[in-house]
């Protein structure tokens, strides 16, 4: 008897080609993004003739196909110019490298092939990195199209100096030229830029509208045809996945995830077709998993703050405010033998929890009682349990589950 035997007999392989349902998969066609592709292609075509295309600013919510479209265009561009004699297409995800040094480092090392000349990942001054980058770009004597995905990330933390660098680069280049494609899901992104940089970065603008339910269905169908044998997915499943995702966000990535997880649920149960019941199961599982994952990976300080918020809610009926959270936070720290951070820091971390969607923190004035944040929990009982059971809190006395918890 091998360890896998039982699971193997129960398992019923439904997904013929798992790859296709992964979010990293780049399809050969991008349904309902024909206009956007055409639009961008027209703008960057001059690069094939070694002319600098305009910079482009692309906006659109998550899961509207921005990244997929750009990957696709990158591949197609390479087909037109296989040796990259006239133009190169570079992609940088600013969510992963969200500081100026990292960004320049990343761009440079896609250009500099010679190992010995590579820029170290830290240690140099920005000026030096910048100069080296300009030199190596100019040496290539061609057009560089640099895609900066999630470009708002870098702005948030660092201001727009780096974009000044990038957009004035061309003035220093003699042989090569650079054009920037900025990608963001933040529609207010441009408002945060100084006007000079705004006009430079947004010479052309392309907006990706969210998919409507029919379009999502279409996308899912196309993928499902490739991923499953005919008949495996029950009739209503795809419209259902599409409807749920469209209502939620119009996010194709989520819709795809939902379909994949649903199929996996069916597989694990040993069922031979994927049904709407599996989708329902998947919706819950995904929701729970993502929240738990967010919480699990929270830094200790944030976990303590979250615990403080939870306990405050358990023992009070009135609104929980920053001050309450901070004083209990300090006590918990004491119990754990961790030195507490400043009030300001804790207030900032509360804002972060808010942004993650774990809590709702709204600024509210209580008149004579001052002006502060009113904090609500945005997680259910299961997740609260999950937080309280975190191993970080093991040194504290056992946690007794609340009789009743106020929930949203």
In this complex, which beta carbon is closest to DNA, that of residue 115 or of residue 369? 369
Contact 64, 212 (CB under 8 A): no
Tell me which residues touch DNA (CB under 7 A). 98-102, 120-127, 157, 299, 301, 321-324, 326, 341-345, 347-348, 350-351, 363, 365-373
Read off the tokens for 79: 């087909």
Smallest distance from the beta carbon of 305 to DNA, in angstroms?
Answer: 11
Smallest distance from the beta carbon of 366 to DNA, in angstroms?
Answer: 6
In this complex, which beta carbon is closest to DNA, that of residue 83 or of residue 116? 116
In this complex, which beta carbon is closest to DNA, that of residue 122 or of residue 297? 122
In this complex, which beta carbon is closest to DNA, that of residue 95 or of residue 225? 95
In this complex, which beta carbon is closest to DNA, that of residue 276 or of residue 343? 343
In this complex, which beta carbon is closest to DNA, that of residue 227 or of residue 349? 349
- Determine the Cα–Cα distance for residues 375 and 361; give it in Å rounded to an integer: 4
Smallest distance from the beta carbon of 363 to DNA, in angstroms?
Answer: 5
In this complex, which beta carbon is closest to DNA, that of residue 5 or of residue 317? 317
- Determine the Cα–Cα distance for residues 71 and 222; give it in Å rounded to an integer: 19
Smallest distance from the beta carbon of 376 to DNA, in angstroms?
Answer: 13
Of 72, 65, 70, which is closest to residue 254 (Cα–Cα)? 65
Read off the tokens for 301: 């300080």
In this complex, which beta carbon is closest to DNA, that of residue 314 or of residue 374? 374
End-to-end CA distance of the chain: 49
DSSP letter for each residue of 191-254: GGS-HHHHHHHTSEEEEEPPPPHHHHHHHHHHHHHHHB-TTSB-TTHHHHHHHHHHHHT--HHH
In this complex, which beta carbon is closest to DNA, that of residue 110 or of residue 301? 301
Handedness of CA 94, 98, 100, 105 (dihedral sign): negative
- Determine the Cα–Cα distance for residues 101 and 91; give it in Å rounded to an integer: 16
Smallest distance from the beta carbon of 350 to DNA, in angstroms?
Answer: 7
Handedness of CA 332, 335, 338, 339 (dihedral sign): positive
- Determine the Cα–Cα distance for residues 136 and 340; give it in Å rounded to an integer: 48
Residues with Cβ within 8 Å of 243's Cβ and at least 6 positions away in sequence, in order, are 213
Smallest distance from the beta carbon of 402 to DNA, in angstroms?
Answer: 23
Alpha helices for 24-98 (secondary structure H): 34-44, 66-80
Smallest distance from the beta carbon of 369 to DNA, in angstroms?
Answer: 5
Of 103, 40, 105, 97, which is closest to residue 67 (Cα–Cα)? 40
Of 155, 111, 117, which is closest to residue 134 (Cα–Cα)? 111
Smallest distance from the beta carbon of 408 to DNA, in angstroms?
Answer: 19
Contact 400, 351 (CB under 8 A): no
Read off the tokens for 265: 């649920």
Contact 350, 358 (CB under 8 A): no
Smallest distance from the beta carbon of 399 to DNA, in angstroms?
Answer: 24
In this complex, which beta carbon is closest to DNA, that of residue 241 or of residue 346? 346
Smallest distance from the beta carbon of 328 to DNA, in angstroms?
Answer: 12
């Amino acid at each position: 008897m091998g360890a896998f035997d039982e699971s193997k007999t129960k398992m019923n392989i439904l997904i013929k080609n798992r790859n296709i349902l992964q979010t990293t998969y780049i399809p050969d066609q991008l349904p309902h993004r024909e206009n956007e592709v055409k639009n961008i292609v027209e703008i960057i075509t001059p690069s094939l003739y070694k002319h600098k295309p305009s910079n482009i600013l692309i906006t659109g919510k998550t899961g509207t196909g921005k990244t997929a479209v750009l990957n696709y265009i990158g591949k197609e561009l390479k087909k037109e110019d296989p040796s990259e004699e006239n133009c190169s297409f570079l992609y940088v995800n600013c969510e992963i490298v969200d500081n100026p040094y990292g960004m320049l480092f990343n761009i440079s090392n896609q250009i500099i092939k010679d190992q010995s000349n590579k820029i170290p990942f830290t240690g140099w001054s920005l000026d030096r990195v910048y100069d080296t980058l300009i030199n190596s770009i100019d040496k290539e004597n061609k057009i560089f199209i640099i895609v900066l995905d999630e470009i708002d990330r870098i702005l948030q933390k660092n201001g727009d100096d780096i974009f000044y660098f990038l957009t004035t680069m061309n003035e220093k280049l003699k042989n090569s030229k650079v054009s920037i494609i900025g990608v963001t899901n933040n529609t207010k992104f441009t408002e945060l830029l100084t006007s000079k940089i705004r006009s430079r970065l947004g010479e052309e603008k392309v907006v990706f509208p969210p998919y409507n339910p029919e379009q999502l269905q279409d996308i899912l169908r196309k993928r499902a045809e490739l991923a499953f044998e005919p008949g495996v997915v029950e009739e209503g499943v795809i419209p259902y996945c599409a409807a749920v995702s469209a209502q939620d966000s119009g996010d194709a990535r989520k819709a795809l995830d939902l379909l994949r997880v649903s199929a996996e649920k069916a597989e694990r149960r040993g069922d031979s077709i994927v049904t709407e019941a599996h989708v329902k199961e998947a919706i819950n599982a995904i929701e729970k998993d993502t929240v738990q994952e967010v919480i699990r990976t929270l830094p200790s300080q944030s976990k303590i703050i979250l615990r403080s918020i939870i306990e405050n809610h358990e023992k009070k009926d009135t609104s929980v405010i920053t001050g309450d959270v901070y004083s209990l936070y300090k006590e918990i720290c004491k119990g754990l033998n961790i030195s507490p951070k400043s009030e300001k820091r804790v207030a900032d971390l509360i804002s972060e929890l808010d942004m993650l969607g774990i809590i709702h923190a709204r600024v509210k004035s209580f008149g004579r009682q001052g002006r502060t944040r009113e904090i609500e929990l945005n997680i259910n009982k299961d997740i609260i349990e999950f937080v309280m059971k975190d191993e970080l809190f093991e040194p504290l006395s056992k946690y007794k589950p609340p009789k009743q918890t106020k929930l949203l």
